[in-house]
A and B are shown apart, each in its own frame.
Chain A
Amino acid sequence: MEQLVASLADGLLLGFVYGLSAMGLTLIFGVMDVINLSHGPIIALGMFGIFFISGGTAFGLHPYVALVLVALLGLVFGFIVYFVAVHRVLDAPHLSSLLATFSVNMMIIGVGTALFTTSPRNLDFSMGSIQLGSITLLGTRLIAAVIAILVTAGLYLFLYRTPPGKAIRAVSNNRAAAELMGIPSTQTLALSFGIGTMLAALSGGLIATFFSFSILSGTVYELKSFVIVVLGGLGNPTGALIGGLILGALEGIVPVFIPVSWVPVIEFVLFVLILLVRPTGLMGGR
């Protein structure tokens, strides 16, 4: 029982970070109907970003300071990807945008493999741990969860309280009508894509503070994001956070009962089943 509580707590903390990454994916889908298949490699770039800005090289910034830079770089990278690969295929059939973002995926992984190889790395870094009764929580995970919650709150404030955020929601509702109201839709779309990739890079950076990683590890988290997004309903940020918690809890609880290698099987079967039974996600329709 104690073991169950402990791994559940661990899983839930991870769930916040998963939720953050899924929110990026779902935001992009909600606003422009594009499934960003370059999500995973961007998560991996976030990992490498924090690695090079804080640890490995001359900069030597504190990882959480480096995280701010990673977020900014993620935003800028998103703009670039948007204008290079996504903008021209927005109104084309789904296949085009899927393949266009996947081509970005291939380019990042190809160049990344050439530059960084695929051998795993890790940040040599610890924030101690906290003892709560019988359970021990790792400091890095706790902080990651807190940051994920703060970023989520920030995202909501941005989307609901600021003019660019409101523009994003308007464009997501009805692009043509938003354009008629004088909202610059191209900039708004680019901004939402940038925020999506920023969330991916951030979650990558946070994951790098407690797991080892390589340029290929983004794929694992991208697939997790898909599962979460489908759990929560495509295009629904709140759903993504809740989906993240569900997935985190699942990852915490399941290994207590059956071998850990079965966890992904359960996740993907769940993923396909939910797509079949309730494509709008567990939270209900949009």
Chain B
Amino acid sequence: MNSWKYPAFWLTVVVVIVGGAVPYVTGSNTWRENMFLILLAIALASSLNILLGYAGYVSFGHIVFFGLGGYVGFYLIAEQAWSLWPATLAGGVAAGILALLLGLAILRLRGAYFALATIGVNEAVRTFINNFDLFGGPIGLELNFSVYRDYGGPATMQWITYSTVFALTLLVVIVSYGIKFSRFGLGLMAIREDEDAAMVMGVRTPMAKTMAYVLSAIVPGMLGVIFFFRNSSVEPHEAFRLHRSIEMIVMVMLGGQGTVLGPLFGAATYEALRGYLLTSPLFKDLQLALAGLLLLLIILFVPSGVIGWLRGRFRRLWRVLE
């Protein structure tokens, strides 16, 4: 854990803090809403990056942790009258446990088989929740607005949830650095390059992969609780949307997988672009198609992402962009 020695670490942390502080300084609700979505995207993409970028395992259904964590937390708040904080923790724990159980099973699969299995898991959970009466089946759950009174009314609640997402984003970024420069992180990257060789060199691959999977699941689970709490409702299609899952991959790829700054940059750019396209009348319907085009161009021409490309191009930036 000596990541604080690197200028890249400080650069990234400062970027997140400055970006996240803008809404407090301006006090503007629009800024807060935009930054909420951007920070959410950054935290999700950076979490996925721990598995995708470091260990090289492509989880196509990573949104399942966001959805399931969100559901568990939401249920506890709406039906069991829990307060937001323990419910958020419970959402993270639920996602972590799911990842642990799944990880022990499906991480044995490699390449395309693993990707397919993660899609299958997401769909299995979605269709199950669709039939699960305790969680409201296909209609989902709703929150009584009076709950927000405990958090100082809807307006204050929005600031509280914003701050929580801000803190979680910072946490993910710091943890990402911590992992990257640790023995554990090096083991993951060895797995990414050549799993069999890593095993021979003494990396405990099943253990390391499962740990990475669990770590990449916990924060999305917590974010799910906060997101749906703020939304005041949750339903299966919204919680387990496969496209959202792949958008997370796009963000990681756009910035550069395996770097910490990459997912941050990719998520912020993608989310800002999406916000712009959604509000522009000309591109509103074509937003998905443009995202697809962007993805294709990245894969064909800059497969290492923007940060990866910069690193390859300018060796001097190695210590700064990580």
- Of A110, A227, A261, most B-chain CB atoms within 10 Å: A110
Q: Does A180 contact B (CB under 8 A)?
A: no
Given contacts A94-B58, A106-B295, A279-B113, contact A268 B300 (CB under 8 A): no
Which of the four size classes fits the interface of chain B? 35 or more
A111 at the interface (CB under 8 A from B): yes
Report B276-313 CB contacts with A as 1/0, cut-off 8 Å: 00000000011111111101100110010000000000
User: Does B128 sit at the interface, judged by CB under 8 A?
Assistant: yes
The answer, yes or no, to whether B120 is at the interface (CB within 8 Å) is: yes
- The A interface, classified by DSSP as helix, strand, loop or mixed, is helix
| Assembled-state Cα–Cα distance A29/B52 (Å) | 22
When distances are taken between beta carbons in the complex, the residues of chain A under 8 Å from B108 are: 276
Assuming the contacts A94-B111, A96-B299, A265-B127, asked whether A107 and B106 have C-beta atoms less than 8 A apart, the reply is: no
Name the residue on B nearest A230 (C-beta): B116
Residue with the highest number of chain B CB atoms closer than 10 Å, among A93, A103, A227, A230: A103
Q: How far is the CB of A264 from chain B (nearest CB, A)?
A: 4
- What mask results when residues 184 to 199 of chain A are scored 1 for a CB within 8 Å of chain B, else 0? 0000000000000000
**Given A110-B285, A114-B286, A272-B106, A103 and B113 contact (CB-CB distance below 8 Å):** no
Chain B residue, CB-CB nearest to A29: B112
Asked if A268 meets B120 with Cβ closer than 8 Å, knowing A103-B299, A104-B296, the reply is yes
The residue of chain B having its C-beta at the shortest distance from the C-beta of A96 within the complex is B299
Asked whether any CB of chain A lies closer than 8 Å to the CB of B253, the reply is yes
Q: Which A residues are in CB contact (< 8 Å) with B74?
A: none
Contacts A99-B295, A100-B299, A276-B105 given; does A226 touch B111 at CB 8 Å: no
Please tell me if the beta carbons of B116 and A102 are within 8 angstroms of each other in the complex: no
Taking a contact as CB atoms under 8 Å apart, the answer to whether B288 and A106 are in contact is yes
A243 to B: closest C-beta gap in Å = 14
Quick check: is B182 within 8 A (CB to CB) of the other chain? no
B14 at the interface (CB under 8 A from A): no
Nearest chain-B residue to A272 (Cβ)?
B120
For B105, B112, B128, B253, the residue with the greatest tally of chain A CB atoms inside 10 Å of its CB is: B112
Given A94-B111, A105-B292; A111-B116 close (CB under 8 Å):
no
CB–CB A113/B288 < 8 A: yes
Within 8 A of A (CB), among B113-138: 113, 115-117, 119-121, 123-124, 127-128, 130-131, 138
Known: A265-B127, A265-B128. A96 touches B303 (CB 8 A): yes
Q: Is the CB of B78 closer than 8 A to any CB of chain A?
A: no
**Interface presence of A155 (CB below 8 A):** no
Is A110's CB under 8 angstroms from B109's CB? Answer: no
A259 to B242, CA, bound (A): 24
Nearest residue, chain A, Cβ from B129: A265
B36 at the interface (CB under 8 A from A): no
| A107 in complex: contacting residue of B115, B123, B131, B289, CB < 8 Å | B289
Q: Are B120 and A109 in contact (CB under 8 A)?
A: no
Judge whether A98 and B112 touch: CB under 8 Å: yes
If A92-B303, A96-B303, A230-B116 touch, whether A259 touches B131 (CB-CB below 8 Å) is: yes
Instruction: Given A269-B124, A275-B116, A275-B120, check contact A89 B299 (CB 8 Å).
Output: yes
Whether, in the assembled complex, A88 has its beta carbon less than 8 Å from a beta carbon of chain B, the answer is: yes
CB neighbours (8 Å) of B288 from chain A are 106-107, 109-110, 113
Decide: A33 near B112, CB < 8 A? Known: A92-B303, A106-B291, A106-B295: yes
Q: In this assembly, does B249 line the interface, its C-beta being within 8 Å of a C-beta of chain A?
A: yes
Question: Total number of A-B contacts with CB less than 8 angstroms?
Answer: 128
Contact B292 A104 (CB under 8 A): yes
Q: A72 at the A/B interface (Cβ < 8 Å)? A: no
User: Does chain A have a CB within 8 A of B166?
Assistant: no
Q: A99-B299, A265-B124 are in contact. List 4 more A-B contacts (CB 8 A).
A: A92-B303, A98-B58, A259-B131, A279-B109
Q: Note all chain A residues with C-beta closer than 8 A to B270.
A: none
Question: Are A110 and B291 in touch, CB under 8 angstroms?
Answer: yes
State how many angstroms separate the Cβ of B212 from the closest Cβ of chain A. Answer: 16
Query: Given the complex of chains A and B, what is the CA–CA distance between A85 and B297 in angstroms?
Result: 9
Report the nearest B residue to A102, measured CB to CB: B246
A100 to B295, CA, bound (A): 7
Q: Does A35 contact B (CB under 8 A)?
A: yes
Does chain A have a CB within 8 A of B71? no
Complex-state Cα separation, A246 to B138, whole angstroms:
27
With an 8 A cutoff between CB atoms, is A95 at the interface?
yes
Distance in angstroms from A278 CB to nearest chain B CB is: 11
Q: Does the CB pair A272–B121 fall under 8 Å?
A: yes
Contact A113 B109 (CB under 8 A): no
Decide yes or no: A98 and B109 within 8 Å by CB, A103-B292, A259-B131 being known contacts. Answer: no
With a cutoff of 8 Å between Cβ atoms, the chain B residues found around residue A99 in the complex are 246, 249-250, 253, 295, 299
CA distance A96 to B285 in the complex (A): 26
Cβ distance A281 to chain B, nearest Cβ, rounded Å:
11
User: Which of A35, A85, A106, A262 meets B116, CB within 8 Å?
Assistant: A35
- Chain A CB within 10 A, most for which of B115, B116, B130, B249: B116
Instruction: Decide yes or no whether B60 CB sits under 8 A from chain A.
Output: yes
Q: Which residue of A lies closest to B285 (CB)?
A: A114
* Chain A residue contacts of B296, Cβ below 8 A: 84-85, 100, 103-104, 107
What are 28 sample pairs from A and B whose C-beta atoms fall under 8 A apart? A35-B115, A35-B116, A84-B296, A85-B296, A89-B299, A95-B115, A98-B112, A99-B246, A99-B249, A105-B292, A106-B243, A106-B292, A107-B289, A107-B293, A110-B285, A110-B291, A113-B288, A223-B119, A230-B116, A261-B130, A261-B138, A262-B131, A268-B124, A269-B124, A272-B121, A276-B108, A279-B109, A279-B113
Q: Which of A92, A107, A223 has the most CB of B within 10 A?
A: A107
Does B300 lie within 8 Å of A89, measured CB to CB?
A: yes
